Amino acid sequence: MNMSNINSTRKSSYSHLSATERGEIAAYLTMGKKPAEIARLWGRHLSTICPAIIRGSIKQVMDKSGKQTFFNAYFADSGQHVSKTYCQ
């Protein structure tokens, strides 16, 4: 057994999404891209993209002919604010 390989785990480096990247997420979502597609385009893991989308999503109300419809919309500035709050 080679003892030099015992602690050979690769060190992973992680980085937070920037405000610019959050803006790009908003643009991609508006274009109809799925989170998995965004992750592939950037070479990021899906587990980085999905929480960012969840943090920046705000419930919206649309009124069509007197009937209210609820949906979630992603806002990059909201996601950035929530992320900064979590990281403090």
Which pLDDT value is given to residue 87?
Answer: 65
Q: Which of 60, 61, 51 is nearest to 82 (CA)?
A: 51
Please write the tens of the pLDDT for every residue from 50-72: 999 999 999 999 998 889 999 99
pTM for the model stands at: 0.72
Percent composition of the chain: helix, strand, coil (DSSP 3-state, to 5): 50, 20, 30
Please write the tens of the pLDDT for every residue from 8-56: 566 556 678 888 999 999 999 999 999 999 999 999 999 999 999 999 9
Hey, where are the domains in the chain? Answer: 18-87
- What band does 86 get if pLDDT is binned at 50, 70 and 90? low
**Sign for the pseudo-dihedral over CA of 75, 24, 29, 15:** negative
